[in-house]
Amino acid sequence: MFIGGGFGPWKHPPVHETLTLAALIASDYKLDRKTTYNKAIQEYDYDNLEFLRGIVWNDDPACMLFNDEGLFAPKSDNFSRGLGKDWFVKFSDGHVFDVDCTKNGWFGHKNIIARSHFGDLQFLHSMADEPGELPEETKRKILNWIEVMYKLAIGEISVQTTLRNVELTRDDGDSIFPLRDLFDAATIPNHHCTIHSFLTADHAYVNVKHDCRALGSCMHVIQDSYARGHCHRPVKDDGPPKRFGEVENFHSFRGQNSEEHTKYDFGAEEGLEDHDCSDISRFEEMDGCTDAIDKCTTLINFWCRKAPWEEVLAWLRADVFAVSEDATASNTNVD
């Protein structure tokens, strides 16, 4: 699904952002029902904009859609949007040249934006690294990421932890270090980068709410899992609104029909910037968006009461990322 992006020609409908605002309004967080995307920005609602910075991060993990140079390095404005030119260059390098966008790729290891869209960080969008990847492997990567971000959001992981030292404990008592598989001494960012630097690119803004950014990143993954260009789920209720079932395929981006992918990411939607996000009838016309709002509302409620990760994990496994017995290895369909 699309993010709003910068002010330049790569500005898009703020689909992720408005879904997030709708979930925050519906949840126990009880965001002001009058909140719109434009209103939050124009009224400098910095704390709540932190959720949106987290939502945007998955598409812009280098934080290149926001200003942070010279006079445009605001210490008190976390939503100073730029033209997006540098972001577009990084994205295009991965898209146009069909290069290896992975940690070990000569090109990819220095381009995290290309990695997140075309390479080994596609799990940030509920997608597989490449065609043929088994669904349980994609699910494993997704759940590892959400675990790191959720534990950060409830204060169980420090923002000063380096990427290589992020540790998760499994049921058998063994520890894993999931980000070591993705970052090393040669990648940008490298494995000595702290989570704070990872989520902020060390921008000048001084009042970062890491918990909100981390939760926003989790919500991006969940929302994308209901986009038809990202995952195939059978329709279990033809609605309106349509409701979707278990995951039958985690798609992979490179090689997809880009026009079809854009269609189901809602790239042609108009008027979302000023849409009253408490009115979810608009989203009921957009396949997957009702499910996305519902699931994000549940996640926010978990976060509001600081539910233990084990409870959240059980829900994610049984509900959002339940994989069908008929699931197949990743493909490049849009369905």
Per-residue pLDDT of the chain (335 residues; tens, 9 = 90+): 999 977 777 789 999 999 999 999 999 999 999 999 999 999 889 999 999 999 999 999 999 999 887 666 778 888 988 888 999 999 998 887 778 899 998 877 899 999 999 999 999 999 999 999 999 999 999 999 999 999 999 999 999 999 999 999 988 889 999 999 999 999 999 999 999 999 999 998 999 999 999 999 999 999 999 999 999 999 999 989 999 999 999 999 988 888 899 999 998 889 999 999 999 999 999 999 999 999 999 999 999 999 999 999 999 999 999 999 999 999 999 98
Q: What is the pTM of this model?
A: 0.95
Chain-centre distance of CA 304, in angstroms? 19
Chain-centre distance of CA 130, in angstroms? 18
Q: Assess contact for 128 and 140: CB atoms under 8 A.
A: no
Chain-centre distance of CA 307, in angstroms? 21
- Written in H, E and C, the secondary structure of the chain is CCCCCCCCCCCCCCHHHHHHHHHHHHCCCCCCCCCCHHHHHHCCCHHHHHHHHHHHHCCCCCCCCECCECCECCCCCCCCECCCHHHHHHHHHHHHCCCCCCCCCCCHHHCHHHHHHHCCCHHHHCCCCCCCCCHHHHHHHHHHHHHHHHHHHCCCCCCCCEHHHCCEECCCCCEECHHHHCCCCCCCCCCCCEHHHHHHCCCCCCCCCHHHHHHHHHHHHHHHCCCCCCEECCEEECCCCCEECCECEECCCCCCCHHHHHHHCCCCCCCHHHCCCCCCCCHHHCCCHHHHHHHHHHHHHHHHCCCCHHHHHHHHHHHHCCECCCCCCCCCCCC
User: Which amino acid is residue 132, in one-letter code?
Assistant: G
Can you say whether the dihedral through the CA atoms of 202, 203, 205, 208 is positive or negative?
Answer: negative
DSSP lists the bridge partners of residue 249 as: 232
The alpha carbon torsion through 141, 144, 148, 150 (nearest 10 deg) reads 100
Cα atoms in the 13 Å half-sphere on the side-chain side of 141? 22
Burial 89-106 (b: 16+ CB within 10 A, else e): ebbebbbeeebbbbbebe
User: Which amino acid is residue 247, in one-letter code?
Assistant: V
Can you say whether the dihedral through the CA atoms of 302, 21, 282, 126 is positive or negative?
Answer: negative
Q: Determine the Cα–Cα distance for residues 203 and 125; give it in Å rounded to an integer.
A: 24
